[in-house]
Amino acid sequence: MKPERSYIVCATPRSGSTLVCHALGETGVAGRPEEYYEALRHSGRPRRPEEYFLGVEDQSIRDHLGERGVGAEQNPRSPLWSRAAYDRYLEWTFEAGTTPNGVFGAKLMWGYFGDFVSLVRNIPAYRDVPLAELLPTVFPNLTFVRVVRANKVRQAVSLWKAVQTATWREDQASSGAISVEDDGAPPYRTFIEEHRPQLRFHYRAIDHLLAQLLIEEAAWDAFFEHAGIKPILILYENFAGDYETSTLNLLERLDLTPPDDFNLEPRMKKQSDSINDDWTKRYSELRLGTEFDLVPVPVDK
């Protein structure tokens, strides 16, 4: 059964979309926005770290990702996911992402948009629907929410760090140490985690990811322009700066009313740290240093 209303959070990796979706989900009236459509058509799974660097010839990037990937296990694919019968999976997402008031929420990254369109068009009812009309046809009474991060260098640095660690979010409530017995992990997992190579600054990796992020943001621009859509625009830096007020404002723009006992407290742990700060500074100085004398030498008169 389809929901009565829906919205999609449109974003790029490390743009702050997880924080926005977490805030909306915590209200209890704005669906359960998760990345249900985070799957490549050929695998039914999210991108692996090395897939962020397809076409890049720098072997040192792949070598480092390969070292860090020892013992890593790919997330299992949903048993409902099928290229040939994607309608069943779509129906499941409606059930999983809809709150009792009939509101459905989901998040969609541009990196999965093309694959999602192809999968939806495998469903006969949507096969011939033009792109501009496709998502509003699939999702009833659809609103688009776009999350953008202003500082793209920090976004690219955050993505490079996340790709190396395969860690995309951490809730403060679960950030304490968990023993091997508690999480059921095999004994070798702890040894592997403790002996992984250190996180490594890599200028060309960050530069590639920055270029890809800019391309994906431009692709969202093109899609909204083509479809004649004016999404609700959320700037991550502003949203994070006043979390509760920003959440209430977004609910209002979605024409949703928070519960009377609404009390929002962010449980997500901020993942930016001194490493992010250091790498952002190093990347910026290296990039600018190729074009400018950062500290001009005084000329004697």
Contacts of residue 86, Cβ cutoff 8 Å, sequence gap at least 6: 119, 120, 122, 123
CB contact set of 234 (below 8 Å; sequence gap of 6+): 16, 20, 145, 146, 147, 148, 246, 250
Q: Tell me: the pLDDT tens digits for 54-71?
A: 999 999 998 888 666 544
pLDDT in tens, 232-241: 999 999 999 9
Q: DSSP label at 91?
A: H
pLDDT of residue 182: 38
Those residues with Cβ within 8 angstroms of residue 109's Cβ, 6 or more apart along the chain or in another chain? 11, 12, 13, 17, 35, 38, 216
What phi, psi does 102 have (nearest 5°)?
85, 15
Q: Compute the distance between CA of residue 22 and CA of residue 26 in angstroms, rounded to an integer.
A: 6
Task: Summarize pLDDT for 147-206 with one digit per residue, the tens.
Answer: 999 999 999 999 999 998 876 655 433 333 323 333 444 444 444 445 456 789 999 999
pTM of the model as a whole: 0.85
Helical (H) or strand (E) element with 217: helix 203-227
Residue ranges of the chain with pLDDT lower than 70?
1, 66-79, 167-197, 265-272, 292-297, 299-301
